Structure 1
Amino acid sequence: MPTFEVIMYNEDVRKCLKEGDHHRQLSDDWGDSHYIEIKAENEDSALAKIETRYPASDGFVVEGISQT
């Protein structure tokens, strides 16, 4: 099964930091890009798995994805 690298951050954390505040549940480092490796059949499956773990409704934003 291929491995994909997903680059993502949390928009809510970035907004809090911009306002000089901290997010109630996530650490400040989520304001920066994170590189997460995930095994999946294809890019769409990788994105579906990421969305389950890091939902857009919770402020997570995917900046990019590539197969490693």
Structure 2
Amino acid sequence: MTSFWLIMGALLIGVPGATFIVLQMIAQHKKQIYAYEWSSQEVIRRGQRLDELEKMSRGAQHKIAELTKQKFELEAEIVKLEKLASKAVAAEANVKTFSIGIYNSEVRRAHMMGEKHRQLDDKWGEINYVELQATNDDEVRRTIMRKFPPERGFVIESVQEVKKSG
């Protein structure tokens, strides 16, 4: 169909007119080729940019993971420091060390009968000494009674403050 129009154009407007039309068609075709080349280069450039952004994203995710790990480590350090600080405050708050002598009457009774207690070791028939930190005798007795309840046969023999040497 294009050849027909070229022949008709050559007959109507002559060879120079037909040449002009052909040159216009060639220019239009070149514009399309340049546009296609530009768009294919643009697609390649954008693909490369996406690759760069993905690499940067992976790097950022890795850095976030590192920082999160450091955050957890620092939080653990904070907990340790808080414990140390509370110990220091407790030392300044007049906390004392007490030695508590305790035995179990049920174990003693079973030992006298030539039997063994079904739950506790024979050592509980003798006085065992436990150290505990507290501010006064009452606090010591409450704590010991929670750990070693009298209803299970535990008897507090003595409570003495341990004097610090030096």
The reply to whether TM is greater than 0.5 is yes
> Percent sequence identity over matched residues?
37
Matched, 1:64 2:152: no
> Which secondary structure does the structure 2 equivalent of 1:57 belong to?
helix
Q: More helix per residue: 1 or 2? A: 2
Q: TM-score, normalised by structure 2?
A: 0.41
2:130 to 32, 36, 44: 36
Residue 49 (structure 1) shift:
0.2
Q: TM-score, normalised by structure 1?
A: 0.97
Higher relative contact order (CA 8 A, sep 6+): 1
Structure 1, gaps ≥5 residues long? none
Residue 22 (structure 1) shift:
0.4
Residue 41 (structure 1) shift:
1.2
Structure 2, gaps ≥5 residues long? 1-94
> Which secondary structure does the structure 2 equivalent of 1:26 belong to?
coil
Q: Who is 2:113 aligned against?
A: 19
Give the number of the structure whose alpha-carbon radius of gyration is greater: 2
Q: More strand per residue: 1 or 2? A: 1
Aligned length: 68
Runs of 4+ in 1 over 4 A off after TM superposition: none
CA RMSD for the aligned pairs?
0.5
